């Protein structure tokens, strides 16, 4: 006989009969009724992997489930490689206050607001803190900023030590896979192989210690607007084979063939959790749990949002669109030649010619005009005052001189010709015509109408090539602390330079969010705003530009767009995390400000 243990089916049948058919499998309820039903009662021992695109709420969902399990008396260890312990705490308090208020968003602060001084809510905060105590003693948070690298081996050793010390098996959460540092002995140049080894270790931990491991994973970019599939999971083929349960979160709009970006702007998002794999239960691309997600208050609830809430969301959504195409960026940086076809980029199949010079303020005006027209597709006219109001972000401060300059620039751009040639899928496409094909309306010299049958070539090109960035309009409504009124803020004064600077910074910061760059040199900022080298700009103008930039960046810190920044002499270094601008939450506007926006 070999050394392998052998057991006949007969022995298993006898054990089953002795237990009267009741399998002794521990289940840990997630707090989401429909999900628990699909999982036959909740999480169980084994490896569960949750994947989702950025900003969809995967960390929030994992934290909410972890808190629910901890409240039941089961120890939970949450390994966080991205979110700080302070931020986890703020999310929990905000979620509890939102639940206590019976989902009245006006009565409680968001997690971001809790990080700042919040007066008048001390009693509600203390009440929520008391309720959170029930699970707090069972929830252990381990972050990557505690002086040690988080690896699969470290987590395995840490869990074993916990079991030895406490005498209890915990439920383990890991946020998230792609940020786990490779072990020294398993460091591979091939990310796929390294990830496979990590998955193997975590799977061994789950099965060897008979405990649930809940692992968050990012998805490949190709999955952002496609229905959930197993192949969406990045860097590893082991995930789909080793996971006992494989979950993918997506916007319900994606299943309906729509883009997710618009749906993700809503304050109540219609989300579904697709159960792609379940080793011992129902699964498939059509097996999904529908959830309502309140991103501002870090809460998931069963079921889809009420239609009333969705309609109110649609009315509140107001964005600013920035044309981020190759051509527009070359023009902003004054990196082009007027006249002939000399504006060709070696790395992209695009060339363009323009008959006269335009600067970054012209580009900002074009972005504002496109935004106004995009939001009202049936409307083919715009008012010069409306353009300035949008760019300034402050309806009450539109001077006659500012409006007059926009009118003059629009009239000038109407006379400028532009042609763009672009190759896509081995097909050459050309866009040509007036840069801004408009005429003034009759006796009203401040209203401009698009000429029938003509479109803006720059924006035809950008729409075809998907080169638009979308930002909350509130990022244009820059405010600062009011020294005369504690806890109050006032809008900064707007002029042409500050408007150019706001649009430039929004564009550049989001570029750095994608690329991971940290520095913005003053020379590049001056070139983007003034269209000149630093030596060609008066020292006073340079100093004023730097001062205005810091006030804008202070506001971006205030609203949570930036974590921090510092001046290193030759420019600005962005410190810490840059958030997705579409995930930002802003205070509700007063009725007066909302009415002014409509004007």
Residues 309 and 395 in one domain: no
Domain boundary among 315, 347, 371: 315
Dump the DSSP string for 391-460: HHS-TT---HHHHHHHHHHHHHHHT-EEEEEEEETTEEEEEEEESS-EEEETTEEEEEEEPTT---HHHH
CA distance 497 to 493: 11
Structural domain boundaries enclosing 498: 318-598
pLDDT for residue 590:
45
* Domain termination residue (choose one: 315, 333, 357): 315
E strand residue ranges, 120-170: 139-143
Among the listed residues 563, 465, 570, the one whose alpha carbon sits nearest the alpha carbon of residue 87: 563
Do 347 and 295 reside in the same domain of the chain? no
The answer to whether the beta carbons of residues 439 and 381 sit under 8 Å apart is: no
How many whole angstroms from its chain centre is CA 491? 26
Task: Give the model's pLDDT for residue 481.
Answer: 87
**Rounded Cα distance, 580 and 515, in Å:** 13
Contact yes or no for 308/268 (Cβ under 8 A): no
In 3D space, the residue among 413, 412, 392, 393 whose CA is nearest the CA of residue 402 turns out to be: 392
Q: Which residue shows structure tokens 């929030």?
A: 60
Q: Would residue 18 count as lying in a domain?
A: no
| List of the chain residues with pLDDT < 70 | 1-7, 12, 15-24, 106-107, 115-121, 145-148, 183-191, 221-224, 234-237, 259-263, 306-317, 340-342, 345-348, 377, 394-400, 424-425, 442-445, 515-517, 587-599
Domain co-membership, 180 together with 79: yes
Residue-wise pLDDT for 158-187, tens only, equals 999 999 999 999 999 999 888 887 765 545
Q: What is the pLDDT at residue 308?
A: 47
- In this structure, are 494 and 459 located in the same domain? yes
In a domain, 14, yes or no: no
- Render 59-84 in DSSP notation, one character per residue: HHHHHHHHHHHHHTT--EEEEESSS-
The CATH code of the domain that includes 306 is: 3.40.50.300
Q: What is the pLDDT of residue 398?
A: 57
Stated pTM of the model: 0.52
Same domain (yes/no): 292, 342:
no
**Does residue 549 come out as left (phi exceeding 0), alpha (psi in the -120 to 50 range) or beta?**
alpha
How many domains does the structure of the chain reveal? Answer: 2
**Residue 40 sits in the same domain as residue 156:** yes
Q: What is the pLDDT of residue 594?
A: 45
The domain boundary, picked from 296, 315, 334, lies at 315
């Amino acid at each position: 006989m070999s050394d392998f243990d052998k057991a006949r089916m007969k022995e298993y049948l006898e054990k089953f009969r002795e237990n009267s058919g009741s399998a002794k499998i521990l289940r840990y309820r997630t707090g989401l009724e429909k999900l628990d039903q699909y999982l036959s009662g909740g999480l169980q021992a084994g490896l569960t992997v949750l994947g989702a695109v950025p900003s969809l709420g995967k960390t929030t969902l994992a934290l909410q489930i972890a808190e629910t399990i901890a409240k039941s008396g089961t120890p939970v260890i949450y390994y966080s490689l991205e979110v700080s312990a302070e931020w986890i705490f703020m999310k929990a308090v905000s979620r509890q206050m939102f639940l206590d208020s019976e989902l009245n968003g006006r009565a409680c602060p968001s997690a971001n607001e809790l990080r700042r001084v919040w007066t008048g809510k001390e009693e509600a905060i203390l009440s929520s803190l008391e309720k959170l105590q029930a699970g707090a003693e069972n929830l252990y948070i381990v972050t990557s900023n505690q002086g040690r690298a988080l690896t699969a081996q470290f987590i395995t050793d840490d869990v074993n030590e916990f079991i030895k010390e406490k005498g209890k098996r915990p439920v383990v959460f890991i946020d998230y896979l792609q940020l786990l540092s490779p072990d020294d002995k398993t460091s591979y140049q091939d990310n796929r192989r390294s990830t496979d080894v990590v998955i193997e270790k975590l799977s061994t931990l789950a099965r060897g210690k008979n405990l649930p491991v809940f692992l968050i994973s990012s998805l490949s970019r190709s999955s952002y607007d496609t229905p959930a599939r197993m192949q969406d999971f990045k860097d590893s083929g082991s995930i789909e084979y080793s996971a006992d349960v494989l979950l993918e979160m997506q916007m319900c709009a994606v299943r309906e063939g729509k883009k997710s970006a618009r749906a993700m702007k809503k304050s109540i998002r219609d989300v579904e959790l697709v159960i792609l794999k379940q080793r011992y239960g129902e699964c498939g691309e059509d097996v999904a749990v529908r959830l309502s997600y309140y991103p501002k208050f870090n809460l998931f609830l069963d079921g889809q949002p009420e239609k009333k809430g969705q309609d109110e969301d649609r009315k509140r959504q107001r964005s600013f669109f920035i044309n981020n195409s190759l051509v527009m960026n070359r023009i902003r940086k004054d990196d082009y030649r007027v006249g002939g076809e000399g504006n060709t980029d070696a790395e992209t199949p695009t060339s363009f010619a323009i008959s006269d010079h335009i600067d970054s303020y012209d580009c900002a005006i074009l972005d504002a005009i496109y935004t106004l027209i995009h939001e009202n597709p049936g409307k083919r006219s715009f008012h010069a005052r409306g353009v300035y109001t949008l760019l300034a972000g402050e309806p009450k401060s539109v001077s006659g001189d500012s409006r007059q300059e926009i009118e003059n620039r629009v009239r000038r751009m109407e006379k400028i010709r532009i042609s763009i040639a672009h190759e896509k899928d081995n097909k050459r496409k050309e866009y040509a015509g007036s840069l801004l094909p408009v005429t003034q309306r009759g006796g009203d010299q401040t209203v401009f109408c698009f000429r029938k049958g003509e479109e803006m070539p720059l924006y035809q090109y950008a729409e075809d090539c998907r080169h638009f960035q979308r930002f909350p309009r509130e990022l244009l409504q820059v405010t600062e602390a009011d020294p005369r009124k504690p806890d109050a803020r006032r809008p900064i004064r707007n002029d042409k330079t500050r408007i150019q600077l706001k649009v430039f910074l929004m564009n550049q910061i989001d570029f750095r969010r994608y690329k991971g760059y940290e520095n913005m040199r003053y020379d590049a900022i001056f070139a983007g705003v003034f269209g000149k080298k630093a030596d060609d700009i008066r020292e006073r103008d340079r100093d004023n530009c730097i001062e205005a930039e810091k006030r804008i960046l202070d506001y971006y810190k205030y609203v949570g767009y930036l974590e921090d920044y510092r001046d290193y002499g030759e420019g600005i270094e962005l410190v810490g995390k840059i958030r997705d601008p579409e995930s930002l939450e802003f205070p509700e506007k007063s009725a007066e400000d909302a009415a002014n926006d409509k004007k």
